[in-house]
Structure 1
Amino acid sequence: MGIAPVAGPRDLAVRCFTAVCRLTARIPGQPRPPATVKDAAYAWRQMVFHLSLCAPDEQRRIVGGMDGEVARHPAHVAARLAPVLAGLRPVLGGGQFGADGMADGGRARRFLGWTTDGRHWLAEPAAPDLEGQRPNGAQRWQE
């Protein structure tokens, strides 16, 4: 007999992605953001795990709802997470990242919680006009 979480993999994937967004929103202004980047990457990895337990059509619905969740957070969150979301969609269809962790001509990135090149790309400053913007009131996950 296996262990099944009460919430189920869909709900857990959604919760993990919400945590990714919340953690990413905290990055600006932190004097040392590596711990937050690492926590966001942990949440991302857990989200991918729970997503992998869902049927393909459910995966597509969940990923389709991610833009709405991102829109509930400050605008810089969408800018920072765009590369990892750009990588998630093709991977669901069987795509792969290169050895450098990039795909789609550098537009998509693998989300790791560390870097060997100094400052993590997720902690790079977003466009100045995005840092202070608030959420636009988008609806929560579409059912």
Structure 2
Amino acid sequence: MEKAFDKVEWEFIEAILHHYGFLDRVIGLILKCLNTVTIRFNINGTISDSIVPSRGIRQGDPLSPYLFLLCSKGLSAAFRLGEKYFGFKGISISRNATPVSHLFLADDFLIFSTASQQACRSIREAFDIYKLATG
């Protein structure tokens, strides 16, 4: 999942922060932490010119784990949409248990599903929804 969060659009992060009720001032500060970064590379002892990234969550930044969690909630929401609209069903561990379709563990993501073509299509749809939202 770490590669996916290198590509998250900052507009998605802003939208998710608004969705969860963050104040505009706080959102502005978070976005400032994201978009005031410059990157330089050391290639064989030669330092490159500065590059300004246009998206992504940096590893090692104290804010990154929290932004990672918010983006993960977006992926979880895409899977709930998949369950609702595309027929994707999770797995129940007992007769009366609520089905579980996915779990997040640190930087891993587990999907629970029946082994069918319809389930695979539904999972793909959920990922496509998330990809459209995040860039």
Give TM-score scaled by structure 1 length.
0.26
Q: More strand by proportion, 1 or 2? A: 2
Q: More helix by proportion, 1 or 2? A: 1
